[in-house]
Amino acid sequence: MSSTTARKGRSKLDRQLEIFARFEHEPVDVLTSTTPTPFLLILNAGSTGSIGGIAGHDLEAACKVYPGFRAIEMLLGRPYSYALFDTAQHAAAAYAGLKDVWIPMTHGNAKRLLLAFATRMSPDVALWTPAEVALAVPGLTVVPGFVSPAEETAILSSLANSQQESAWTTLGKRRVRHFGYRFDYIRRTVDRDTSAAEPMPSWAERVIAAYGQMFPDADIPDQLTVNEYEPGSSIPPHTDTHSAFGDAILSVSLQGDVVMEFRCPIDSGDHVPSTSPSAEDGNGSSNDSDVLDAALTPPPKHTRFRVVNVHLPARSLLIMDGDARYQWEHSIRPRRTDVVRGQTVSRTTRVSLTFRSVKHEPRCEGCPWPRACDLAK
**CATH assignment of 3-122, given 3.40.1550.10, 3.30.70.330, 3.40.50.300, 1.10.260.40?**
3.30.70.330
Nearest CA to 225 among 261, 262, 190, 260? Answer: 190
**CATH assignment of 127-372, given 3.40.50.1820, 3.50.50.60, 2.60.120.590, 3.60.15.10?**
2.60.120.590
Q: Is the pLDDT of residue 116 over 90?
A: yes
User: Between residues 7 and 355, which one has the greater pLDDT?
Assistant: 355
- What are the pLDDT digits (tens) for 289-318? 333 433 445 555 567 888 999 999 999 999
Nearest CA to 342 among 105, 86, 95, 46? Answer: 46
Q: Is the pLDDT of residue 167 over 50?
A: yes
**Rounded to whole angstroms, how far apart are CA atoms 272 and 306?**
7
Give me the pLDDT at residue 111, please. 82
**Rounded to whole angstroms, how far apart are CA atoms 81 and 44?**
8
Q: Which residues pair with 22 in a beta bridge?
A: none
- What are the pLDDT digits (tens) for 49-70? 544 567 667 788 899 999 999 9
Q: Residue 125 in contact with residue 78, Cβ under 8 Å?
A: no
pLDDT bin (cut points 50, 70, 90) of residue 222 is very high
**Rounded to whole angstroms, how far apart are CA atoms 177 and 224?**
8
Cα dihedral across residues 361, 367, 372, 375: positive or negative = positive
pLDDT bin (cut points 50, 70, 90) of residue 100 is confident
The SS3 call for residue 57 is helix
Give me the pLDDT at residue 303, please. 73
DSSP string, 126-152: EE-SHHHHHHHSTTEEEETT-S-HHHH
217-233 burial, b for 16+ CB within 10 Å, e for fewer?
ebeebbbbbbbbbeeeb
**Rounded to whole angstroms, how far apart are CA atoms 142 and 146?**
9
Q: Is the pLDDT of residue 278 over 50?
A: no
Instruction: Identify the burial level of 238 via C-beta atoms within 10 angstroms of its C-beta, where 0-12 means exposed, 13-18 middle and 19 or more buried.
Output: middle
Give me the pLDDT at residue 269, please. 37
Per-residue pLDDT averaged across 279-294, rounded?
A: 36
Q: Which long-range contacts (CB under 8 A, 24 or more apart) does 279-285 make?
A: 279/124, 280/76, 280/77, 280/124, 280/333, 280/335, 281/333, 281/334, 281/335, 285/236
Give me the pLDDT at residue 300, please. 59
Sequence ranges of the chain with CATH classification 2.60.120.590: 127-372
> Nearest 5 degrees, angle CA 259-CA 265-CA 269?
130
Q: Tell me the backbone φ, ψ of residue 145, rounded to 5 degrees.
A: 65, 25
pLDDT bin (cut points 50, 70, 90) of residue 48 is low
Sequence ranges of the chain with CATH classification 3.30.70.330: 3-122
**Rounded to whole angstroms, how far apart are CA atoms 248 and 43?**
40
Nearest CA to 307 among 104, 4, 15, 24? Answer: 24
Q: Tell me the backbone φ, ψ of residue 30, rounded to 5 degrees.
A: -85, -35
Q: Is the pLDDT of residue 104 over 70?
A: yes
